[in-house]
């Protein structure tokens, strides 16, 4: 039973990671709005800082999405190979 609960928690971690990625996407949108404000007041240093932060966030998002995709595929392969897994574990998936 502990093994199933541990795997269920693993699945929930993927759900949480997707939520974090979505929050980071919102941060990127906010940064883009801030860049527009910096353009209006001609704040070149601010634009540079915001652009660097945006680039960092976009790289982080891409890396995290690749990580989640890779391990979700491995999770699905493991789940398909082991017929003893509970079928209701994906009921909490927010993407569905």
Q: Hey, what are 79's tokens?
A: 């789940």
Q: What's the rounded Cα separation, in Å, for the pair 93 and 17?
A: 12
Q: What pLDDT sits at residue 9?
A: 74
User: Tens digit of pLDDT per residue, the chain (96 long)?
Assistant: 455 455 567 778 888 999 999 999 999 999 999 999 999 999 999 999 999 999 999 999 999 999 988 887 877 776 676 655 545 554 444 444
d(C-alpha 78, C-alpha 27), whole Å: 34
pLDDT, position 72 = 79
Q: Which of 73, 71, 61, 67 is nearest to 20 (CA)?
A: 61
- Asked if 31 and 75 touch (Cβ cutoff 8 Å), the reply is no
Cα–Cα distance, 86 to 69 (Å, whole number): 21
Q: What is the pLDDT of residue 83?
A: 59
pLDDT reported for residue 7 = 57
Please state the pTM of the whole predicted model: 0.69
Return the residue matching tokens 């001609």: 42
Report the pLDDT value the prediction gives residue 91, as an integer from 0 to 100: 47
């Amino acid at each position: 039973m502990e093994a199933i609960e541990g795997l269920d928690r693993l699945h929930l971690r993927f759900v949480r990671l997707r939520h974090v990625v979505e929050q980071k996407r919102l941060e990127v949108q906010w940064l883009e709005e801030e860049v527009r404000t910096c353009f209006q007041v001609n704040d070149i240093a601010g634009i540079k800082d915001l652009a660097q932060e945006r680039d960092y966030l976009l790289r982080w998002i891409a890396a995290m999405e690749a990580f989640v995709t890779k391990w979700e595929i491995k999770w699905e392969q493991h789940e398909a190979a082991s017929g003893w897994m509970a079928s209701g574990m994906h009921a909490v998936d927010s993407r569905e």
